[in-house]
Structure 1
Amino acid sequence: MTNQVIVLGSINVDTTYRVEHFPQPGETISANDKQIAPGGKGANQAVAAARSGAHTAFIGAVGNDDDGRAMLKQLQKNYIDTQHVIIDNDHATGSALVTVEESGQNDILVYGGANQALTTTMVGSVDELLEQADFLVAQFETPQEVTVDLFRQAKAHGVITILNPAPAHSLDPALFSYTDLIIPNETEAEKLTGITVTDHSSMQATATWFRQHGIPNMMITLGKHGVFYSLFDQSGTVPAFRVKAVDTTAAGDTFVGALVAELKPDVTNIAQAITYAQQASSLAVQKHGAMPSIPYRSMIEAINS
């Protein structure tokens, strides 16, 4: 059965510079390469879900500019339903400046543009879309009040809501009531809970904190250390696949998108879905760029063939 996925999120055009090392304050360095590519956490996650076979619809905004038109074409090229992407005449399409050093680590500077100008009024009713959906995914690159409103609507339709709280900042208290599953990394988890993630007990404590505040299920992505999960009465750690990373820009987005494409709506295949998403992420970090690095299902399944 094909999962029906809605992604609420950002659409950006990424400009990536590759450098030997990150510049220090006041330092000028030379870039070894420059690349312009489609990105944005929301768009990346939607493409990852679509490339893993999910029927995917997108809710977001672009500017009435060349970047916006190009990004809409890119989403449509990946068979993503863009009927609910708003054309904003007052704000430019979002953009990101990414610096990647030789180790594969990255620094990212984001301009929100039309993403941050999105409002609940602009989105309007999406009842018809929610009636068909299994999962609704959101991040923090669009206003949280829009996420709250859509998560509230989703719960009324029995849709599983998933929050990837990235980039890290404080959480609108209303989201605690409407989020079924939260997927932070270690930094984001600490930002939200105040608990430093160092070992299994601190991860369990983080899961307990979220449960006590209303979010029953959690995963923490741990980079090269894998993924810890505590959800639907199950918990454990799924190890990462050891590969040589050249660019980690879309690793987390690829994981989330692949996960919602693979996870059954009755969540009976948690460990299997996490493993699949880890495989997808391991392929993404071996290529440069955000969206261009996201693998297709056939590539992921080939790992086990």
Structure 2
Amino acid sequence: MQKILVVGSINMDLSFECKRLPNLGETIISNNYKKYCGGKGANQAVALARLESDVTMIGVVGDDNYGHELCSNLKFNQVKTTGIRFSKEVSSGLASIIVDETGNNQIVVYPGANYELLVPDIDKLEALIVETDYVVCQLEIPIVTVEYVLQKAKQLGKTTILNCAPARELTKKILEYCDFLIPNETELQVITNTHYPLINETELITATQKLSKQGVKNIIVTLGAKGVLYANAEQTQFLKAFSVKAIDSTAAGDSFIGGFVTSLANGKTIVDSLEFANKVAAITVTRRGAQISLPYLYEVENYRFSS
């Protein structure tokens, strides 16, 4: 079995349900409170593990109750945590989420220990990169760390995957070090510095061609219910999404990453891996929550989609 290394964020999500969002300076009462283990890096690691991949996580959490709970949750989900460091200087990353009855929300994220994941950490954990086959990153840790991880992974002959979330501009080196760049429509607009919404196929293809010219080998644009666009220097191809009744899109992108990399690591073609990733993401949006919505391999294999 090929090995996968996820380098990224680990957060505790604190969710407050309210009748409405508060006005400026106003205090309101929450109807319900829930705590979820999250962070895009951790979500993707769990998505991979539930699909029975051999996955290890590199990240930093605080040496606090949240940090130990986050680490225990990863272990429970069969993610190897040998690359996780506990910081005594900074608390664990947190997200405070207020959701009203109509589904609108206000979110404040405190990166905390996630921003403590720096280049020296990667040097100390180089053996984990040497031992792996695929390296997966996102953008909730310092950008210099992301660039360094991708560079080192490519020097060691590994396959690199970057999920461009949250949206931010990327350096030329990052683009060159990516074997697979995976943005959504908004993120594609940001990283290509496009000053208008990418609302049709022609505009999407033009944006991916711009990235190809900058050295990106493969671009995969997730389009939600519209499916996926796959592009490289030679071709572009649209793949339809599976038809489901979506109730919550949280972690859909993370489950897509998990499905795609799992399938790729199992020797499937890029297109077959995209089809599998679409299935995993489709199941995820039929459930509420983040990590709790991520499907296991047996569920994907037995799920029956409507025609």
TM-score, normalized by the shorter chain, greater than 0.5: yes
User: 2:291 maps to which residue?
Assistant: 291
Q: Structure 2: how far apart are the matches of 1:20 and 1:248?
A: 21
User: 1:38 maps to which residue?
Assistant: 37
Moved more, 192-201 or 254-263: 192-201
User: 2:49 maps to which residue?
Assistant: 50
Q: Structure 2: state its 5+ residue gaps.
A: none
Aligned partner letter, 1:74: N
Root-mean-square deviation (CA, aligned residues, Å) is 2.3
The residue matched to 2:246 in structure 1 has which SS? coil
Aligned partner letter, 2:144: E
User: 1:301 maps to which residue?
Assistant: 301
Q: CA deviation at 1:8?
A: 0.5
User: 2:9 maps to which residue?
Assistant: 10
Q: CA deviation at 1:16?
A: 1.9
Moved more, 99-108 or 287-296: 99-108
1:263-296 C-alpha deviation (Å, 9 max, x unpaired): 2476x52222112112211222222221111111
Counterpart contact for 2:212–2:233, Cα < 8 Å: no
Counterpart contact for 2:219–2:232, Cα < 8 Å: yes
Q: Structure 2: how far apart are the matches of 1:248 and 1:105?
A: 13
With CA pairs under 8 Å and 6+ residues apart, which has the higher RCO, 1 or 2? 1
Q: Structure 1: state its 5+ residue gaps.
A: none
Matched ranges for 1:166-245 at <5 A: 166-195=165-194, 196-231=197-232, 233-245=234-246
Distance 1:234 1:100, change over 3 A: farther
1:167-224 C-alpha deviation (Å, 9 max, x unpaired): 1112133212211111111111111113332121112111111111121210111111
User: 1:261 maps to which residue?
Assistant: 262
Q: CA deviation at 1:122?
A: 2.5
The residue matched to 1:198 in structure 2 has which SS? coil
1:103-156 C-alpha deviation (Å, 9 max, x unpaired): 667654211000012111123243432233221111110011111111111112
1:18-61 C-alpha deviation (Å, 9 max, x unpaired): 45665666676664432101000000000001111110011110
Q: Structure 2: how far apart are the matches of 1:304 and 1:246?
A: 18
Moved more, 121-130 or 209-218: 121-130
Identical counterparts, % of pairs: 35
Matched ranges for 1:59-78 at <5 A: 59-78=58-77
Moved more, 229-238 or 78-87: 229-238
Q: Structure 2: how far apart are the matches of 1:82 and 1:165?
A: 23
User: 2:273 maps to which residue?
Assistant: 273
